[in-house]
């Protein structure tokens, strides 16, 4: 677990800094231009949905097939190999997607009242989809070499700095709406180039793709895995982004902006899960190749316990400070009431807790020989989420979208958990999870009483400090899983390496 701990720790630190910047942007900047912010997120989400379609799952296959190229001493050809396969898939898929779009165009315009927005930006969405595809490939190549920090710093944290600047440029009328979109496209192209350079520097690479590294049967297995990986990613995107896309299609860009403000803040809860998921992907893939089931079981249980501890704390923290967040927002808070924010966040937050508590079951299934079943679950999830969003959005608006996501995530993770248990015999530790949940319920009830009457920033600080004082000691003494204290001690030691000697010498 050494490499997992180190990379996860660094990833978490970087992401909390980025999230703090995003938090400030959501409160003070993004709310100034809900329409353009909503348009950006609509284009971004729509283009992201194209990644698994355009790449036919290549970015998912990269992590699974890296160990095979390494065993054959051909890892220096893997970058060129991946780019050739990616380009072939993209060219084929663009032709296919374009044909389907024009065939389905009349029907889409009937069922979605705001489909005009998509039609007017179809070329932008397609271009962004291609850029995002190559970006995803470069990120996957970095992850396959156990590097998740720098790619995320470039790809995700960078966006949290860039987007507020772009919004302000438009707000002060320095750029037009077309300039807004063009600058965004240039930015994402630069990000892809920077990631490509980073991957080049990770190890030696040969420009020859060496397509004969795999034989015919292995190519058959590769394209088969890519196909199912593509459906996996498509289903995952449907689960994660369909609510945003559907809101844009069925309500308005302004509604997307309101919903995404809440979603961005709730995404703080994704940081630990994202770190663990990314860094465990190559470890689990290698463990399957080495038939090291004990290591997979260990990762499965620990990721669940530690994820539960952090996600419950983050849920409580965000929930209790929402009233102060609303007060801090400028005039852009129009339409975003405390009741609406809490209703949407509750469903989105609980969905994230469910996803984190059930551990890295997606990675376990996806890199096993039964990877097809993950696709089956995701297809069910995608269809279910699409239908639920359509039904609940019509009746309950933005809260309905959040509730649809919550129900979809529960069903998806129950299916994965049962499969992992009955097929592989991997199980979660129930008592530690129960301890964390009960601790969360107790602290939640107490925190409802804590309502300081000061300035919102002072209130936020007081509430967070109170929450830590209540939550941390209970977790420390309960010691869920029997190893939490040791891990916390190790984390403190790791943090000491980033602090000046004058400060670190006072830490245990």
pLDDT digits (tens, 9 = 90+) for 4-26: 555 555 666 666 666 667 667 76
Helix orientation angle between 456-478 and 430-447, rounded to the nearest 10 degrees: 150
The DSSP output letter for 30 is G
Total domains in the fold of the chain: 1
Average pLDDT over residues 306-335: 81
Lowest mean pLDDT among 74-88, 91-105, 177-191, 225-239: 225-239
What is the structure's pLDDT at 127? 93
∠ Cα 231 232 236 (to 5°): 115
- Reduced to 3 states (helix: H, G, I; strand: E, B; else coil), residue 153 is helix
**Does residue 46 form part of some domain?**
yes
**In angstroms, rounded to a whole number, what is the distance separating the alpha carbons of residues 309 and 353?**
10
pLDDT greater at residue 237 or residue 381: 381
Lowest mean pLDDT among 146-155, 328-337, 422-431: 328-337
∠ Cα 489 8 21 (to 5°): 105
pLDDT greater at residue 507 or residue 425: 425
**Does residue 461 form part of some domain?**
no
**In angstroms, rounded to a whole number, what is the distance separating the alpha carbons of residues 87 and 84?**
5
**Does residue 450 form part of some domain?**
no
Q: Grade residue 58 by pLDDT with cuts at 50, 70 and 90.
A: confident
Tokens, residue 283: 């470890």
* Exposure string over 352-374, b if 16+ CB within 10 A, otherwise e: bbbbbbbbbbbbbbbbbeebbbb
What is the structure's pLDDT at 418? 92
Dihedral of CA atoms 32, 33, 34, 38 in degrees, nearest 10, equals -140
What is the structure's pLDDT at 255? 76
Tokens, residue 62: 């990269």
Query: Tens digits of per-residue pLDDT, 30-47?
Result: 667 777 877 888 888 888
- What distance lies between CA 149 and its chain's CA centroid? 14
**Cα distances (Å, whole numbers) of residue 409 to 141, 235, 273:** 28, 12, 14
What is the structure's pLDDT at 18? 66
Q: Are 21 and 161 in contact (CB under 8 A)?
A: yes
What is the structure's pLDDT at 498? 47
**Does residue 256 form part of some domain?**
yes
What is the structure's pLDDT at 5? 55
**pLDDT above 80 for 317:** yes
Structural domain that includes position 333: 2-428
What is the structure's pLDDT at 334? 56
**In angstroms, rounded to a whole number, what is the distance separating the alpha carbons of residues 389 and 398?**
10
**Does residue 477 form part of some domain?**
no
pLDDT greater at residue 494 or residue 158: 158
Average pLDDT over residues 67-90: 83
**Does residue 459 form part of some domain?**
no
Lowest mean pLDDT among 109-118, 137-146, 273-282: 109-118
Tokens, residue 372: 């097809």
Q: Grade residue 444 by pLDDT with cuts at 50, 70 and 90.
A: very high
Task: Give the mean pLDDT of the chain.
Answer: 80
Average pLDDT over residues 382-396: 82
Query: Tens digits of per-residue pLDDT, 121-134?
Result: 888 999 999 999 99
**pLDDT above 90 for 193:** yes
Average pLDDT over residues 161-190: 90
pLDDT greater at residue 493 or residue 150: 150
What is the structure's pLDDT at 183? 94
**pLDDT above 90 for 182:** yes
What is the total residue count of the chain? 508
Average pLDDT over residues 367-390: 81
For the entire predicted model, the pTM comes to 0.69
What is the structure's pLDDT at 6? 57
**Does residue 292 form part of some domain?**
yes
Q: Grade residue 291 by pLDDT with cuts at 50, 70 and 90.
A: confident
- What distance lies between CA 441 and its chain's CA centroid? 26
What is the structure's pLDDT at 502? 46
**pLDDT above 90 for 443:** yes
Tokens, residue 56: 């036919």
**Does residue 508 form part of some domain?**
no
Query: Tens digits of per-residue pLDDT, 251-262?
Result: 776 777 778 778
Q: Grade residue 189 by pLDDT with cuts at 50, 70 and 90.
A: very high
User: What percentage of the chain reaches a pLDDT higher than 70?
Assistant: 85
Average pLDDT over residues 213-217: 80
**Cα distances (Å, whole numbers) of residue 40 to 237, 256, 262, 348, 442:** 17, 10, 16, 21, 40
């Amino acid at each position: 677990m050494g490499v997992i701990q180190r990379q996860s720790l660094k990833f978490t630190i970087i992401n909390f800094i980025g999230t703090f910047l995003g938090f400030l942007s959501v409160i003070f900047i993004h709310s100034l231009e809900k329409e353009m912010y909503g348009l950006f997120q609509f284009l971004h989400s729509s283009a992201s949905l194209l990644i698994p379609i355009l790449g036919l799952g290549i970015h998912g296959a990269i992590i699974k097939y890296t160990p095979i190229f390494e065993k054959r001493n051909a890892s220096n050809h893997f970058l060129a190999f991946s780019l050739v396969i990616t380009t072939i898939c993209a060219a084929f898929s663009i032709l296919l997607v374009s044909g389907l779009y024009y065939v389905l165009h009349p029907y889409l315009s009937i069922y979605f009242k705001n489909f005009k927005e998509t039609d007017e930006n179809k070329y932008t969405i397609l271009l962004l989809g291609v850029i995002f595809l190559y970006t995803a490939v470069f990120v996957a190549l970095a992850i396959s070499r156990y590097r998740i920090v720098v790619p995320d710093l470039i790809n995700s944290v960078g966006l949290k700095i860039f987007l507020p600047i772009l919004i302000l440029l438009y707000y002060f009328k320095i750029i037009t709406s077309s300039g807004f979109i063009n600058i965004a496209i240039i930015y994402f192209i630069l990000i892809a180039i920077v990631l490509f350079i980073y991957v080049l520097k990770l190890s030696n690479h040969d420009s020859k793709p060496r397509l004969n590294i795999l034989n015919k049967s292995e190519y058959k297995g590769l394209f088969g895995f890519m196909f199912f990986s593509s459906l996996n990613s498509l289903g995952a995107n449907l689960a994660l982004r369909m609510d945003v896309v559907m809101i844009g299609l069925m309500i308005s860009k302004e509604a997307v902006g309101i919903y995404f403000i809440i979603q961005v803040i709730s995404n703080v809860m994704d940081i630990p899960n994202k770190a663990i998921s990314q860094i465990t992907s190559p470890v689990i893939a290698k463990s399957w190749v080495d038939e090291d089931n004990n290591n997979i079981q260990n990762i499965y249980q620990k990721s669940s316990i530690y994820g539960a501890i952090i996600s419950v704390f983050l849920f409580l923290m965000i929930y209790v400070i929402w009233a102060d967040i609303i007060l801090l927002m400028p005039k852009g808070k129009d339409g975003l009431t405390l009741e609406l924010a809490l209703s949407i966040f509750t469903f989105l937050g609980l969905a994230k807790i469910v996803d984190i508590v059930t551990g890295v079951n997606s990675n376990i299934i996806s890199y096993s020989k039964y990877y097809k079943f993950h696709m089956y679950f995701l297809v069910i999830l995608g269809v279910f989420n699409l239908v639920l969003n359509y039904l609940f959005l019509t009746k309950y608006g933005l809260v309905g979208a959040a509730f649809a996501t919550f129900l979809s995530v529960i069903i998806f993770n129950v299916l994965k958990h049962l499969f992992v248990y009955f097929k592989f015999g991997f199980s979660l530790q129930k008592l530690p999870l129960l301890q964390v949940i009960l601790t969360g319920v107790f602290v939640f009830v107490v925190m409802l009483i804590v309502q300081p009457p000061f300035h919102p920033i002072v209130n936020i600080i007081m509430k967070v400090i109170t929450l830590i004082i209540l939550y941390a000691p209970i977790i420390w003494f309960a010691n869920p899983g029997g190893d939490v204290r040791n891990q916390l001690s190790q984390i403190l030691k790791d943090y000491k390496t980033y602090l000046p000697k004058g400060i670190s010498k006072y830490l245990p």
